[in-house]
Amino acid sequence: MALRLAAVKAQEFTVAMPEGEFHVSFRPATVAEEIVRRNLFADRREEQEVNSTTVIVVTHFNQQELLRKDCFLTLESCDIEDAKGRRLLRSGMTEVDFNTAWGKLPAAWATEIYDCCLAVNPNWGNSKRVPVGEVKSAEADTSEVQ
């Protein structure tokens, strides 16, 4: 009998902060997302000859970029709103829009969101922290496997 990919179930978290609470859900990463993430760790070195001078470009990233990328890759929903009452972070956003929205978060909120991401994708972090939110069964269903 052939194996069939099942619908991916997202896990939902309720995160209590001094300012109030919010809900966020994440799904496990796919192999394609694992590859995107691992590319951040790959050194890319380009050498070009320009007017008898060798130009070397080395690409790197920082830890905060990794947190943001991990959340971008697997976020399903988040009910934090901007000043106009619109959802700040949403599944399906472009990475540029997500990065802009992520940059508006207080650092403590971003850390809690990332801890929820790690709870669903534990192989991504060395974090020993447990999200402050309660994990509940999520009804979120991402039936379309990408």
For residue 78, give the nearest of 28, 116, 122, 34 by alpha carbon: 116
Dump pLDDT digits (tens) for 84-131. 999 999 999 999 999 999 999 999 999 999 999 999 999 998 644 444
Enter the DSSP assignment of 29.
P
The 3-state DSSP class for residue 14 equals strand
pTM above 0.85, yes or no: no
Q: Give the C-alpha separation, 62 to 23, whole Å.
A: 27
- Phi/psi for 142 (5° steps) reads -100, 80
The answer to whether residues 95 and 64 touch, using CB atoms and an 8 Å cutoff, is no
Q: Give the C-alpha separation, 12 to 23, whole Å.
A: 7
* Cα distance between the two ends of the chain: 22
Dump pLDDT digits (tens) for 44-96. 666 777 777 777 767 667 788 899 999 999 999 999 999 999 999 999 999 99
Upper half-sphere CA count for residue 27 (Cβ side, 13 Å):
23
DSSP codes joined into one string, 88-142: SS-TT--HHHHHHHHTTS-HHHHHHHHHHHHHHSGGG-------SSEEE----EE
Give the model's pLDDT for residue 25: 95
Q: Where are the domains of the chain?
A: 18-30+61-138
